[in-house]
Structure 1
Amino acid sequence: MPMTAEKTTIEYVDKAQADENVPSSKEWNIEEDALAANSEEHDLGFVQAVRRYPKAMMWAILLSLTIVMEGYDTILTGNFFAYPEFAKKYGSYYPSIDDYQLSGAWQVGLKNASQIGPIIGAFANGYLSQRFGFRRVMLVSLILMTAFIFVTFFAQNIVTLFFGLMLCGIPWGVFATMGPAYSSEICPLAFRGYLTAYTNMCFAMGQFISGGVLDALVSRQDEWAYRIPYAIQWVWPLPIFIILWFCPESPWWLVRRGEYKEAEKVIERLSSKQDQNRARQMVSMMIHTNEMERDIDSGSSWIDCFKGIDLRRTEIACVTFMGQVSTGSAFAYGASYFFKQAGLSAADAYKVNLGGTAIAFVGTIIAWFVMSRFGRRTIYNAGVFTMAVFLLLIGCLDFGRAAVPAIKWVQAVFAVLWLFVYSMTVGPIGWTIPSEVGATRLRQKTICLARICYYIITIVANSLNPYMINPTEWNWNGKTGFFWFGSSAVTFVWCYFRLPETKDRTFAELDVLFSRQISARKFAETQVDLQEEN
């Protein structure tokens, strides 16, 4: 259907949704308004967009705060392995090293427990959010989160702790897939990328808080050294629940259900008072994009993610998320344990780890300024390449660590630099691209599939990394960097040939580029005229 200025009767609503919410053709001029809204999206600058849609930014920021909880736990469990009291409670004494250690098998088990749950949560969210909407699913997940924390807090043995972490992972999977999807659906093009990348800042915030808690309690010589960090998780659910009770539903979700007038009300609510008259144009653009995707065979089921042009879009989303792990995050984010095995004291190891999380937080802020200058593809590729170099250097330096004790500090510096580069590049962009690249009718499922792939590769990484570093297992220490260097190199090759540029593209324009099967390396330079496209 060409996008012309002629008035068109609305035929975009599923019959089950045809009710009083559906406007008549006399009220709406879909194609003309959609064309105007698409043009306005490109003309709108960042500051002007914030002034026009201040509440959209506010709600995207508030809902993504749920991801702080997953970020908090991401480094909590892995770094507990170097915690003296935690190791005494759940580990065993090894005379050969005169210290308590969790076996490699249980290190793998605990780290993977918090990845199995999110797989369940992400898969469930792909269905539940499509059926019940973002808001209701998020509120129920917060209630479940509050209940599941009790299991980890009161765990008296390692088996109970394993199941507690797995249960907590279920709502984490919902939070991780809901935040970027919601932000991409309520934010205009001008700050869509910043708010989806903000998801990574929420991770960094959680990791920084976790690092501070770990550093503050490492000297305690009782069970509260590891129980207090679990208890702190109760701080977030209640206030976030109260805030999100008032959040608006996604207008794209309402459009897909045919509730156009409700979608218009949401846009008005997200807009400043003087700009509420533009709400109908925005909804018209959503309606037209939704219909255009139907015309190019973009369904809304799980199987549709693997059919036709959507298979390519799913691949890009999945590998982009997986790249956050294949570039060495299991190694760098569990650095406290590596530092301790490399020879640093437990106190020094956690201080370096805390500094690393602080630098990661700063790096995420810097990423916003980088994103305004460079494209997603450029930033992501540069990050993968740079982190690969750091991992190679960590591996090479390990050959001299026995002769020169100070090398362990140089390795620590490179590990922190890895975190800094990751937080400026692959970290935030790894959230932005999956949020943009999927078809709007499949966005939630695409993000869920991508996140599930992330969790699966994280399980693999968590299964290997402890054995590589653990002195009672393979005892590779810093030579583990060689393994992750090779993994990063493979990721870089894929990125060069398959990762497209999505910066400054509306969802309708991305639909056109994918339908025309444009090469990933030519996305940025290809011109799209929606008025001439079918």
Structure 2
Amino acid sequence: MSTEKSQTPPADEKSSIDKAHIEHGDLKSAADYMGDAMEAEHAEYSMTVMEAVRAHPTACFWAFVMSFTIIMESYDVFLIGNFVALPAFTSRFGVWNEASQKFVIVTKWQSALQVSGQLGALIGVFMAGPITTRVGYRWATLFGLTLMNATIFVSFFADSLPVFFVGQLLEGLPWGIFIANAPAYCSEIVPLRLRAPATQILQMFWAVGSIIVGAVTFVYNGRDDKQAYKIPIALQWMFPLPLMVLMFLAPESPWWLVRKGRHEEATRSVARLGNKSQQLHAGETVAMMRRVVELEKNAEQPKFRELFQGTDLRRTLIVCGIYAAQNLAGNLIANQAVYFFEQAGMSTNTAFALGLITSALQMLFVMLSWILTTYYGRRSIYLWGTLFNVVMLISLGIAASIPGDNFVSASNAQAAFGLIASVMFTFAAAPVSWCVIAETSAIRLRPMTTGIGRATYYIVEIPCIFLASWMLNPTGANLGGRCGYVWGATGFVTLVTAYFCLPEMKGRSYREIDILFKRKVAARKFDEVVIQPEENE
């Protein structure tokens, strides 16, 4: 009896976490609750990356499955980018250009086709937040996959550029759901040491989508009938159905379940995500989650306006800024790689081959980036990676400015600098961006924060696509590699902004990240602040 009293603090000293516990029928004391939470957090800190993989093999698997949904957006983005260089497509829907002596898609339609999916995705990401907040990541993703299956029909049967535009617009709706949910879900189902590789898989699957497109269009670019573009469109149907089956069997994010007060289900979900040893400590892990959720406690349902209030405004701006920056440091050259190589002077076959090589190298370098993020911080990788890309882009512009007497050498140099910039983007700045996006938002507002962040990506990307198409197209500015000057300048702006605004969150628990933002710690001081295990404010 005396022991029980000594473990139970007076009622007026109970924390808000303990009150929440009792509200849900859990009679553990605050001391026991906090003890479990701190024990789980300490266990995550003490693991190495490989120990975390061995302890949570099924979490890695489900993160892999969720990340696979990104292939569908990547596939279609690169497919449309390749179609504007595909002879069968350009001869069917393009106009004859005397200067290049071949059919080309006019600039306005080239841009329109490439932004149509992004316009749909912009709507989709705004749908994703409220849907996911209400029904969870699993059912939101299943809804998106069902929608994807249906909308492919429009593009497949399209026989004019306006119908292609509508088809791509509709396909963009589920893309928005996938891209908003995937980084959040992946970061929530794995332990601290695996947050970086679990979210970086997204960039790898983006590269996988481009590889599949590159291989398919390389095979079909020699055909002159409509099957050259119909078959690549039809191949999109190979993704949704298998993923629907897998996502139906997937566990819900335990963080989402805790936010909903469904703690028993959260414990079962945690148990499914770990090995037998980790299953014994599922209750402690849920206690850690409940501690963080209580720090962000709010009786109301999450609303979009909260993203722009108090400390959450800063977190929202970081996520939006990182997303927007992906379009401003040379990424659009990678998305239009085949067309870029053609405009740099390569033959059609060589351009498609180089596009495929670029995609393969991107996938390889994304995997190498897992090693990079294990030893170096997010901030340092992003800053140095962006600086390198700025140098490559300026070098690309210089190579393209060499007089015509040295055309062959200049053309090869442009191709080399374009390829290096595209590949190095996926080695440093791009994969680490996904880590920052997943870690920055508050747990309570995460689905909405990732949604609004991705919306910013599309809002910036859409005018950038028009600009990129206009700069490269022979019927536009016809700048070729000199567009490197433009992207080098925008890349430099993102570099300076990141230097002052991007905090270091490597090795920080979600509790610590919450506290650092609430204390309004300067971005360059994040890694210097020590937070004790018992601190909640």
- Tell me the TM-score normalized by structure 1: 0.95
Q: What is the CA-CA distance between 1:342 and the residue it aligns to? A: 2.3
- Partner residue of 1:86? 89
- Partner residue of 1:12? 20
* TM-aligned CA distance change 1:22 to 1:411, over 3 Å: farther
Q: Secondary structure at the match of 1:326?
A: coil
Matches within 5 A, 1:387-398: 387-398=389-400
- Partner residue of 2:503? 500
Say whether 1:526 aligns with 2:529.
Answer: yes
Given candidates 324, 341, 344, the residue that maps to 1:342 is 344
Give the Cα separation in 2 of the matches to 1:171 and 1:202.
Answer: 17
Letter in 1 for 2:358: G
CA contact (8 A) 1:251 1:266 kept: yes
Say whether 1:326 aligns with 2:334.
Answer: no
- Partner residue of 2:248? 245
Q: What is the CA-CA distance between 1:288 and the residue it aligns to? A: 0.9
Give the Cα separation in 2 of the matches to 1:333 and 1:211.
Answer: 11
* TM-aligned CA distance change 1:235 to 1:412, over 3 Å: same
- Partner residue of 2:406? 404
Q: What is the CA-CA distance between 1:299 and the residue it aligns to? A: 7.5
Q: Secondary structure at the match of 2:96?
A: strand
Q: Secondary structure at the match of 1:505?
A: coil
How many positions carry a matched residue from both structures? 525
Give the Cα separation in 2 of the matches to 1:292 and 1:224.
Answer: 57
* TM-aligned CA distance change 1:291 to 1:358, over 3 Å: same
- Partner residue of 1:357? 359
Give the Cα separation in 1 of the matches to 2:264 and 2:389.
Answer: 48
* Residues 107-146 of structure 1, C-alpha deviations (whole Å, 9 max, x = no match): 1110110100111111101000000111111111111101
Say whether 1:139 aligns with 2:142.
Answer: yes
* TM-aligned CA distance change 1:341 to 1:51, over 3 Å: closer
**Where in structure 1 are there 5+ consecutive unaligned residues?**
none
Matches within 5 A, 1:54-453: 54-294=57-297, 300-400=302-402, 402-406=404-408, 407-453=410-456
Q: Secondary structure at the match of 1:93?
A: strand
Give the Cα separation in 2 of the matches to 1:298 and 1:480.
Answer: 48
CA contact (8 A) 2:82 2:338 kept: yes
* Residues 278-315 of structure 1, C-alpha deviations (whole Å, 9 max, x = no match): 111111111110111238x9972111111111111111
* TM-aligned CA distance change 1:93 to 1:5, over 3 Å: farther
Give the Cα separation in 1 of the matches to 2:115 and 2:123.
Answer: 13
CA contact (8 A) 2:8 2:29 kept: no
Give the Cα separation in 1 of the matches to 2:475 and 2:152.
Answer: 31
CA RMSD of aligned residues (A): 1.9
Q: What is the CA-CA distance between 1:505 and the residue it aligns to? A: 0.5
Q: Secondary structure at the match of 1:220?
A: coil
Give the Cα separation in 2 of the matches to 1:197 and 1:95.
Answer: 44
* TM-aligned CA distance change 1:146 to 1:5, over 3 Å: farther
Q: Secondary structure at the match of 1:72?
A: helix
- Partner residue of 2:4? none
Q: Secondary structure at the match of 2:277?
A: helix
Q: What is the CA-CA distance between 1:440 and the residue it aligns to? A: 0.5
* Residues 237-278 of structure 1, C-alpha deviations (whole Å, 9 max, x = no match): 111111111101111111111111111111111121122121
* Residues 176-229 of structure 1, C-alpha deviations (whole Å, 9 max, x = no match): 111111111110001111101111111111111111111111111111111111
Q: Secondary structure at the match of 2:339?
A: helix
* Residues 152-191 of structure 1, C-alpha deviations (whole Å, 9 max, x = no match): 1110100100000010111111111111111111100011
Q: What is the CA-CA distance between 1:409 and the residue it aligns to? A: 1.2
CA contact (8 A) 2:18 2:29 kept: no
**Where in structure 2 are there 5+ consecutive unaligned residues?**
1-6
Say whether 1:483 aligns with 2:491.
Answer: no
Letter in 1 for 2:178: F
Say whether 1:24 aligns with 2:27.
Answer: yes
Q: What is the CA-CA distance between 1:93 and the residue it aligns to? A: 2.0
CA contact (8 A) 1:72 1:207 kept: yes
Letter in 2 for 1:361: M
Letter in 1 for 2:337: A
CA contact (8 A) 2:21 2:28 kept: no
Give the Cα separation in 2 of the matches to 1:92 and 1:126.
Answer: 42
CA contact (8 A) 2:472 2:480 kept: yes
Given candidates 507, 515, 519, the residue that maps to 2:518 is 515
